Amino acid sequence: MLLDNIFIRTLSRIFDFILLNILWLICSLPIITIGASTTALYSVMLKIVVNEEGYIIRSFFDAFRKNFKQSTVIWMILAVIGVVLGVDFMIVRTAPKSVEKIGTVLMGGAILIYVIEIIFVFPLIAQFKNTTMNMIKNAILIPVSRLPFMLLVLFLTVMCVILTLLNQTTIMVGAVIWSLIGVSVLSFANSVLIRVMLKPFVKNEDGE
């Protein structure tokens, strides 16, 4: 009986992850809504970690609607910055060797900050209420202040991307996995770490 219950709960959770992955994918298709969709996904995942998720579809769309404006504004800002970084990186690669070395180091630092921002800002929006500028600022300051958790989330996320991009076969297999359940599984794993990372700040916000 115990094994049956574990099996049923596991299948139910897998179904939830597939459902959330599909919702995230569909709601991200307009591209401009990727930020709101990612915030909604993390809003549900941060609750799933502590078994407080309620109705999956309703929770997802409630968070999507509630955080749409702020998430979209921040996503558009990050998209523009991403394009600028990409152009700057290509310019640096064509510069003279001495300039290229210095430029590569500076670009590496800028890209690292950018990656931290884009990974952590949407979970923060899902968890807290704050101004847009404070969200952008805290998406760097909070992870840095909780460095071990930040490094684990970064490692997990970057390794998943690298393993996907290894060769043509991994890209094809990865496309299927990411489309079906991969985004949900990664966001769940990240949420386990992010939930612990944010615990002191959640207590402060609650006044405990």
Residue entry with tokens 């931290």: 116
> 204: exposed, middle or buried (C-beta count within 10 Å: 0-12, 13-18, 19+)?
exposed
Residue entry with tokens 């770490």: 193
Decide: 203 and 127 in contact? Cβ < 8 Å.
no
Residue entry with tokens 């599909």: 22
**Predicted TM-score (pTM) of this structure:** 0.91
Backbone Cα Rg of the chain: 18
Annotated domain spans of the chain: 2-206
Query: Digits of tens for pLDDT over the chain (208 positions)?
Result: 656 677 788 888 999 999 999 999 999 998 999 999 999 999 999 999 998 878 899 999 999 999 999 999 999 999 999 999 999 888 888 878 777 788 888 888 999 999 999 999 999 999 999 999 999 999 999 999 999 999 999 999 999 999 999 999 999 999 999 999 999 999 999 999 999 999 988 865 544 4
Identity of the amino acid at 98:
S
